[in-house]
Amino acid sequence: MSRPIEMDSKEDGKAVFFDHRIQPQFFDIIENARESVIFVTPYVRLWDNLKRAMSKAILRGVEITFIIRKEQEHRNPEDKKRFDEDMKWFRDNSVQLLEVSRLHVKIYLNEEKILVSSMNVLRSSIDDSMEFAMIVNREADKKMFREYVRH
C-alpha cells in the first residue's frame, strides 16, 4: 500500500499526518495545554518521553484525562504487567482515568487543538503500524468533537 502525500491546510499549516509524524502531535497537545488534556484511546502503553511530557504539564497545573476501553485484552503476562504499571503511573500522577465499554475512537485534545487518529497510545502503533491523524480545524467540528468526548 503506497502512502498518500501529506496535505497542508491553507489556513492552519499541516493538518494530516501519517505514521511516525503523529507522535509529535501528541507532544504538541500536551506541551501547549494551558488547562487540560484529554486522550481518548482504547489501548495505552506509556513510554518514557510521553510520561515526562505529561509530568511537566501536571506541574504546570494541567489536568490530564485518559479515556480508555474498559475491556482490556492482554496477550501475555508481561503485557498485563505493563498495563498495571501504566495504571499505577496514572494514579500516582493524578491522571484522571475513565473506562468506557466498547471504546474504539481515538481523539486527542487540549483547549485549542483536536487530533482525530487511527493511532492508539501504544509504542507498537508508532513503530509497527500504518496510522493516520488529522487536525480538526473547523470550529463547528471542534465543538462537535468536544461534545462527543464529554458524553
Q: Is 136 within 8 Å of 114 (Cβ atoms)? A: yes
Beta-carbon contacts of residue 106 (< 8 Å; ≥ 6 apart): 40, 41, 42, 116, 117, 118, 119, 120
Per-residue DSSP letter, 12: T
Cell of 17: 499526518
pLDDT at 66 over 50: yes
The rounded distance, in Å, linking the Cα atoms of 18 and 14 is 11
**Among 42-51, 53-62, 116-125, which is the least confidently predicted range?**
116-125
Beta-carbon contacts of residue 36 (< 8 Å; ≥ 6 apart): 62, 63, 64, 65, 110, 111
Q: At 106, which amino acid appears?
A: K
Percent of the chain with pLDDT over 70: 92
The rounded distance, in Å, linking the Cα atoms of 75 and 87 is 17
What rounded mean pLDDT belongs to the chain?
A: 90
State the CATH class of domain 14-150: alpha beta
Beta-carbon contacts of residue 125 (< 8 Å; ≥ 6 apart): 119, 131
In this prediction, residue 20 carries a pLDDT of 87
pLDDT, tens digit, for every residue of 99-141? 999 999 999 999 999 999 999 998 777 777 899 999 999 999 9
Per-domain residue ranges of the chain:
14-150
